[in-house]
Amino acid sequence: MDVSQSLAEHKTEMIIVKNTVEAAEHAARLGWLFSAAIAAIEHDKQEDKGQLPGKQEATVTE
């Protein structure tokens, strides 16, 4: 049994999405995420891609 079949038994579907925004939109349609959160996810995605100012590189501290 593959993962998608196992999830289907629990009334959960597995979908293939291009990015986290698509995943969030899908989750919102199912009521698993507030639709208002999608804008913040889109903003974070743009920051991560360097399309908006504010991206900070991770630093390692000891």
At residue 4, φ and ψ (nearest 5 deg) are: -65, -35
For residues 14 and 23, is the Cβ–Cβ distance under 8 A?
no
Residue 42, pLDDT score = 92
* pLDDT value, residue 59: 81
* pLDDT band at residue 62 using 50, 70 and 90 as cut-offs: confident
In tens, the pLDDT along 21-56 reads: 999 999 999 899 999 999 999 988 888 777 777 667
Please report, for the chain, the start and end positions of each structural domain, with discontinuous segments joined by +.
3-48
**Hey, what are 25's tokens?**
């939109």
* Pairwise CA distance, residues 60 & 11, whole Å: 42
Cα 19 from Cα 15, distance rounded (Å): 11
- Assess whether pLDDT exceeds 70 at residue 6: yes
pLDDT at 1: 62
